[in-house]
Amino acid sequence: MKLDFFNQIRILDGGMGQQLLANGLISKGTLWSTSAILNEKFHNLVTDIHLSFINAGAEVIVTNTFSSRKLRLIQNKVDQHFRYVNEKACLLSIKAKEISKKNILIAGSLPSQTDTYVEDKRSSKNIELDFYEQAEVIAPYVDFFYLDVVSSGREIDIASNVAVKFNKPVLVGVHLKKNGYLPTGETLTDVFQKYKNNNWIGLIGACVSPEIAQNSSTEIGSLDIPFGFKANLWKVEEPTPVKTFNRAKPEEIGTNPNIALGKREDISGKLFYNFYQKLVKNGATILGGCCETTPEHIREISRLK
């Protein structure tokens, strides 16, 4: 891929996990969307959801590997399938691309390797090993890595350096709180100045509310890098690893995260378009959705191309 790909407006996909749950997936334990990879009967659904976002205008789809991190699989006693679920998720995204016959890119989701929305406080050595093992499996199938909802500069630095080993560009997806800071208290400027790597091709606010995106757009827009957002539509503006959906036992049916975090019904595709239109005026070029965003939302913002 061209390293200046995000210098012009590009459309990312929306929320895979919640679309799977909305279309019949039953998630076990804390596996979330990985349940759809472990159960072959849901493979076509994964492909179909990728296709729905492509047909809505997405130029980039993200592999369904967000909850296939090693520790999550260990917690659910299925870590023997680590390579399989990560590889199969990539193959299903490639299948969707081939069916679409469109020249889209595939981003390999490399999520925070412990919990979502919080800093990984483990040793750098352990964090690096986990990022490396997941990156090694998905690297052959993807155009670039997407650091998917990462909450600390240290994790971003480690993952960026891992990506270098696979000669892959990186789109950095930073999670932000209402105050515009990372969960660690770092600012976007702090992270950019301290950790920017030559393989970074863009910087986005990842799984943040539209309001947080709007409030942080001035700071992120002041940095010398293409920027944008993957906004969520949770009711809870500052999501955390809530016990009610993040600690189900492996044999239990996991609670849909929107039960714990709520779903915003007030933001239609048209309102999503209006929100992103303001961000584009501020210089944003990377436009997409996260949890609870649908093909309708992506179809609307694709009109900003």
- What pLDDT, in 10s, does the model give residues 96-109? 999 999 999 999 99
The fold adopted by the segment(s) 5-304 is TIM Barrel (3.20.20)
Under the banding of pLDDT at 50, 70 and 90, the label for residue 29 is confident
CB atoms within 10 A of CB 282: 12
pLDDT band at 244 (very low <50, low <70, confident <90, very high): very low
Q: At what angle do helices 269-281 and 210-221 cross, to 10 degrees?
A: 10
CA 230 to chain centroid: 8
Query: Is the C-alpha dihedral spanning 297, 302, 303, 305 positive or negative?
Result: positive
Decide: 202 and 147 in contact? Cβ < 8 Å.
no
CB-CB contact of 89 with 65 (8 Å): yes
- Say what the pLDDT of residue 198 is: 94
Report, as an integer, the average pLDDT of 199-221. 98
pTM: 0.96
Place of tokens 């996260």: 290
Q: What is the pLDDT of residue 256?
A: 75
d(CA 83, CA 136): 9
Average pLDDT, stretch 140-159? 98
Burial of 277 (0-12, 13-18, 19+ CB in 10 A): middle
- Name the residue type at position 267: I
Domain extent listing, the chain: 5-304
Instruction: Give the pLDDT confidence of 42-96 residue by residue, as tens digits.
Output: 999 999 999 999 999 999 999 999 999 999 999 999 999 999 999 999 999 999 9
